[in-house]
Chains A and B, each alone.
Chain A
């Protein structure tokens, strides 16, 4: 019965090595995705280099489900630029166009008023109570390029989280059962 024991041992050891290799490969994939994301953050200068358009307020230019590439440079903010901003106390970034800019002579600080292209009125109603203008620290970036439709994947995963779990489960299964 010694050779059964030996065979069992060798089978076990192969499985462990294979499992470890697969775990390391998975780790490498996740880490390289993270590196690319953080690298993009450095290059573009903004903490969210890619955003998905969630509302129809910039139609027909940006539809729901498009993705926007953002950068943030030291250049001053001017009218016509499509800016992405967050209101204090709210999480969702909003993508609208700056329609009014007032820049202080002494400090270079700016007051910015924004409006969605498809909205009737400017965004004063969206700002925090008593806030009349946006300032530079509210603005996360400027939109410079866009890709249509690609963002639907993110929207579906956010609005129907069950799909997210199914996808991750399927990916996990694939990794475990793959023979490489």
Chain B
């Protein structure tokens, strides 16, 4: 019972179990953090709004995004992935979600920000339904922990709309 093999085995098993336990507790502690993020998005300009050669509408716009996501960071947070998506309905699709911009926030200091940017990803509809379309802009965030359960949430901001005619 006292050979090297037995001792090594016991040590390895114990350390793995202890590590697993610590990871579980770290993840569980995330449930107790108090989170109140806030955000505001404004459309600064619609740069381009046209119908592509094969029939789909495309929009290019400039957004002004202000957000305070500092309360999402706990000691177990590795990074927060934030993105803004446009959500709207069309006759064929009950829901369309198109991601317009995203950012990786590596720590608490960078979590309060204001950025003015044109859409990082192309906003193309499946069809040509975007004239005069009303849509929501939603700021989603995905908290990626150092270990354990990831969780995500969002703030929905309704009330944006596209112009009635191509530009």
Q: Given that A117-B104, A144-B149 are known contacts, is A61 also in contact with B99, CB under 8 Å in the complex?
A: no
B121 touches A99 (CB 8 A): yes
Interface residues of A in 137-168 (CB under 8 A from B): 143-148
Q: Which residue of chain A has its CB nearest to the CB of B6?
A: A178
For B, the interface residue count at a CB cutoff of 8 angstroms equals 33
Minimal beta-carbon separation of B21 from chain A (angstroms): 13
Interface 0/1 of B120-150, CB less than 8 Å to A: 0100001000000000000010101111111
B94 touches A145 (CB 8 A): no
Q: Does A47 contact B (CB under 8 A)?
A: no
Find chain A residues with CB under 8 A from B150 CB. 82, 143-146
**B140 near A146 (CB under 8 angstroms)?**
no
Would you list which residues of chain B between 4 and 63 have a CB under 8 Å from chain A? 5, 23, 27
Q: Chain A: interface residue count, which band?
A: 20 to 34
Of chain A, the residue at the smallest CB distance from B99 is A99
Which of A1-9, A26-34, A83-91, A103-111 binds B?
Answer: A103-111
Is the beta-carbon distance between B23 and A147 smaller than 8 angstroms? yes
- Return the CB mask of B93-118 against A: 1 if under 8 Å, else 0: 11111110010101000000000000
Q: Interface residues, chain A, CB within 8 Å of chain B?
A: 60-62, 78-82, 97, 99-105, 108, 111, 115, 117, 122, 143-148, 174
